[in-house]
Amino acid sequence: MTRPADPRDAPPGPRLRIVGDDEDPWPTEPDPHTDPWHTPAPAPRPAAEAATAPPRPRTVWSAADLMATDFPEPRWAVPGFFAEGVSLLAGPPKVGKSWLSLGLGLDVAAGRPAFGSIDVEPGPVLYLALEDTLRRLKTRMGKLLAGRDAPKALTLVTEFPPLPQGGADALDRWLTQNTDPRLVVIDVFAKVRGHSAPGVAAYDADYAAIGHVKQVADRHSVATILVHHVRKMASDDFLAEVSGTNGLAGAADATLVLKRSRGKADGVLHITGRDVDEAEHALEFQPDTGSWLLLEGPAGDHTIGDTRAQILAHVRTHPGSKPMDIAAAIGVEVELTRRTCSRMARDGQLHRGPGGSYGPPLEPDTRTTP
């Protein structure tokens, strides 16, 4: 335990609180009279045991050398969702971002399916819960674990220095000291981004803020999630809803926005990025366990009313159907079916074919962002 500071002494530095792998805590509990992020380096380990950081990547190539080199595929913390590099996870307050990110941390650390259905590789996870107390974290984890043992591979931190003022170095040390780390979550990013230099343009400041953590994430090939907020003003383009300038999304490798939804889904996760296909995924929130589950099929199937959902389900299996055929199949009046099909085509939920027939909506362009 940390001994109390003598009131006659100088105020102690910030105290790091960790819940997780007690066999190898990080860093060692500091003396209250010192800054925990500037303690003397530990004694060197034997050469066979010493942790080593990944080598600096080569940055200058000839075109011929580059084309002749084979590179490994990106490492995924959650396949199809979170790849190595920096992912910006944004959403309005109280939408469930923290439940989602803490659940992912527990799943990846334990090697359990993420979102209830996506297989992941287990490994060390660092979760910076910078807006939570230990009591709240314990309560949430107890709900998410639902009686299962807490994974020792998950390290929880409630205080952390700003990235430009030692935070990036501390993150680099943790990643170096843990074998094959799989995921880092920073909840929320605003707590560690630090202050911008006077006179720097807003776009440049946002881009540089992401750059501090991206450099570390790229060096260790680890997926890093930055939990962030959205603007109050809604937009048809989910990227435009991310709070701040385009410098944030521009610097991040992927941007994900969790939005509330109508219909059967509780939320829709919009994704775009360099290594991930642009997509929308419908999610269902389980209030009893605090878990977000991935719903099968296109997101649009889960975000529309019952009549529209029935029509869409029918035309997916019977493309080219006309309103009279659809009405007979789903048991709805012909005129209501005709009007609903027309509105759905206008809203992009159906594709209008020749002769008054209807089919499922055309697939969007899912090419990755350069």
pLDDT at 231: 76
* H helix intervals, 111-166: 134-145
Q: Give the tens place of pLDDT for each residue, 245-281.
A: 888 888 999 999 998 865 556 888 999 998 888 899 9
Structurally, what CATH architecture does the domain formed by 306-359 represent? Orthogonal Bundle (1.10)
pLDDT at 266: 82
Domain ranges of the chain: 76-297, 306-359
Domains 76-297 and 306-359 share a fold: no
pLDDT at 154: 97
Q: What is the DSSP string of 215-274?
A: HHHHHHT-EEEEEEEB-SS--SSGGGGBSS-HHHHHHSSEEEEEEE-STT-SEEEEEEES
**Residue 263 falls in which region: left (phi positive, over 0), alpha (psi -120 to 50) or beta:** left
Q: Give the tens place of pLDDT for each residue, 324-346.
A: 999 999 888 888 899 999 988 98
pLDDT at 18: 46
pLDDT at 262: 58
**Cα angle for residues 172, 51, 124 (degrees, 5° grid):** 60
Instruction: Provide the angle, in degrees to the nearest 10, between the axes of the packed helices 334-346 and 323-330.
Output: 120
Q: Is 41 helix (H, G, I), strand (E, B) or coil?
A: coil
What residues of the chain score a pLDDT lower than 50?
1, 7-8, 10-30, 32-35, 37, 39-49, 366-370
Distance, in Å, from the CA atom of 287 to the CA atom of 303, rounded to the nearest integer, reads 19
Side-chain-facing half-sphere of 249: CA atoms under 13 Å = 21
CATH of domain 76-297: 3.40.50.300
Distance, in Å, from the CA atom of 308 to the CA atom of 263, rounded to the nearest integer, reads 10
Cβ-proximal residues to 30 (8 Å cutoff; 6+ apart), any chain: 2, 13, 15, 16, 36, 39
pLDDT at 183: 97
Distance, in Å, from the CA atom of 249 to the CA atom of 44, rounded to the nearest integer, reads 40
